[in-house]
Amino acid sequence: MVTIKDIATMANVSRSTVSRVLNNSGYVSEEARQRVEKVIEATGYVPSGYAKSLRTKQTKVIGVILPTIQTETPSRVVTGLGRELSKHGYQILLANTDHDKEKELEYLDLLVRQVDGIVLIATNTEPELTQKIKSMNLPFVMVGQEAENVICVTYDDYHVARDVTAFLVDKGHTQIGFIGVDETDQAVGCFRKKGFYDEMKSRDLSIEEAWVQKGVFDIDSGCKAMKKIIEDSKQRPTAIFAVTDRLAIGAMSYVKRIGMEIPKDIAIAGIGASELSQYVDPPLTTVDYKNETAGEEAAKQLLAFIQGEDYQKKIVLDYRLLSRDSV
């Protein structure tokens, strides 16, 4: 492997001069610069990243920890992150926890000395996690969940849920079911649920116990949750608010299977604006969360923090309700 030393020898200059050419720093005569550049070109020399990192204490790598890349939300966020980071010469080291909270902690340890910063696409906000993050004082951004004392980029889950609920009510529905997820996921589990309950309450609408079910982020569980709602409720709801598109699509697939028509017999709304949502039949009413923007925003804040510039501690992104035929 050709090193800076070889380049120096071949160009008949010192390593210092090669380094100056490489980094565009200090004084280098035009003549020397050209000689060096020619040698670099000829040899195809690429500086060793780790030698550089060792010396400069910068890796130009950002660690991204996420629960999975097989769903649209995280993969969109990563796309946004990548786009913004690569503009500034940063790369992404990917850590897929596969929904395993243990691994989340392990990866934090693993990454700490290898990256300039970490982005966590979070599904939980357990104290053990936030504790650890603070303890390793490394530039850090959390996407999708709120936490104390860290930079967060979040969505306004509470108001989204109120809006969706309000939308259903305004369409004339008074009996509305809800398919949520476990509350360890604060953003999706708690805030969206609370938004739903609060809006229903503010409209003086009551909620039958069986109308509220839980799933686990996949289509199949949306299907099962819907089944429970249909089978267990005394009075069937006329509308369903599912906290993710996949749950909503699962619910749709169940109600269609038992011969109900959407939206005539039951209206359904989701959240997430998955690509899928516009091609199911009927197209699903949902909320666009602009995940790529979230990724870009997270990258911007992280880089600002790293570079000692001004950054915003909390960013709450806006959203857009997409009204389609399922309601």
Partner DNA sequence: TTCCATCATGGAATCGATACCACATCGCAT
Partner DNA sequence: ATGCGATGTGGTATCGATTCCATGATGGAA
Q: Is 265 helix (H, G, I), strand (E, B) or coil?
A: coil
- Rule CB under 7 A: choose which of 28, 115, 152, 168 binds DNA: 28
Residue 27's binding partner out of a copy of itself, DNA, none, with CB under 5 to 8 Å set by partner kind? DNA
Region 128-147 residues binding a copy of itself, contact defined as CB under 8 A: none
- Rule CB under 7 A: choose which of 10, 39, 44, 52 binds DNA: 52
Q: Are 173 and 239 in contact (CB under 8 A)?
A: yes
Q: Which stretch binds DNA (CB under 7 A): 7-15, 180-188, 266-274, 283-291?
A: 7-15
Shortest distance in whole angstroms from residue 21 CB to DNA: 9
94 binds a copy of itself (CB under 8 A): yes
Q: Which stretch binds a copy of itself (CB under 8 A): 6-14, 52-60, 119-127, 193-201?
A: 52-60
Q: Are 111 and 93 in contact (CB under 8 A)?
A: yes
Nearest to 316 by CA among 299, 298, 300: 298
Shortest distance in whole angstroms from residue 31 CB to DNA: 6
DSSP 163-178: HHHHHHHHTT--SEEE
Residue 127's binding partner out of a copy of itself, DNA, none, with CB under 5 to 8 Å set by partner kind? none
Which pair of tokens denotes residue 110? 């693993």
Distances in Å between the Cα of 274 and the Cα atoms of 47, 205, 271, 278, 280 are 42, 29, 8, 8, 11
47 binds a copy of itself (CB under 8 A): yes
Backbone angles phi, psi at 37, to 5 degrees: -60, -35
Shortest distance in whole angstroms from residue 318 CB to DNA: 40
* Residue type for position 305: F
- Rule CB under 8 A: choose which of 36, 40, 82, 124 binds a copy of itself: 82
What is the rounded distance in angstroms from the CA atom of residue 155 to the CA atom of residue 126? 19
> 211 or 217: whose CB is closer to a copy of itself?
217
Q: Is 134 helix (H, G, I), strand (E, B) or coil?
A: helix
> 47 or 282: whose CB is closer to DNA?
47
Which pair of tokens denotes residue 299? 């990258």
What is the rounded distance in angstroms from the CA atom of residue 138 to the CA atom of residue 261? 52
> 66 or 190: whose CB is closer to a copy of itself?
66
DSSP 190-206: IIHHHHHHHHHHHTT--
Quote the distance between the C-alpha of residue 236 and its chain's center. Answer: 35
Shortest distance in whole angstroms from residue 262 CB to a copy of itself: 11
> What residues line the site for DNA (CB under 7 A)?
1, 3-5, 12-20, 22-23, 25-32, 47-48, 51-52, 54-57
Q: Which residues of this protein are in contact with a copy of itself, per CB under 8 A? A: 1, 46-51, 53-54, 59, 61, 64, 68-70, 72, 75-76, 78-79, 82-83, 86, 91-96, 98, 109-110, 112-114, 219, 249-250, 253, 256, 275-276, 279-281
